[in-house]
Structure 1
């Protein structure tokens, strides 16, 4: 059997997280957990004059595997990239693809109109359009000399 490249680091990361969670629980704090260590999609955020656009690489996923929600000023994107069920014939010599759940949260700037957020999914790329409030769009004022 071929071990995945990051098994050692993944195991070490989880052990450290469990140790910290145990210590924090002793003092009445919150347990630490992070989803998505195996699969963490890449995100881009681009600002234009009238909106922001967030794009995420989600190759191998369908739109039904992704959930987007907004609560107050927090945009949450979560989903699961499911491992393909393969037949028992043959064996892997290399296994580099990542699978599993992920969750990302972004604090939205105050100028975002959350009632007008739209999302689309095409060719493995999730695009989220976050329009700015009209009053947030600034107008450049020309200064005249006298």
Structure 2
């Protein structure tokens, strides 16, 4: 086996030195995309969570409004109570409406916004609704 000469050693050294800093440049290019992707996933999760809060409030409102001798105002009050208890900062500017309710059916709609983490992106709108028949007594065969 031939000994390593200085010219061979210099070629190896120049190859090793030529790659210095490549990893830093690659990270500088890739890392912003990784951060944006991470923030986007968190943002989508926050929006989904806000939707679930609104849906839970609407469902609880419908459950309260369906009971015997209850009305749309009882449903709206119950939905607001749920929002006050659970929404916090996850569902902002939440409003409750019972428009579309009839004597035989109750409908609760909850609207609000999910906070945005991304700069220059407004808060994301959230709207959920639930409905169900109003309980009533009937006579047999009628």
Between structures 1 and 2, the one with greater helix share: 2
Specify which structure has the bigger relative contact order, considering alpha-carbon pairs within 8 angstroms and separated by 6 or more residues.
1
* Greater strand share, structure number: 1
Larger radius of gyration: 2
Give me the TM-score of the superposition, normalised by structure 1.
0.34
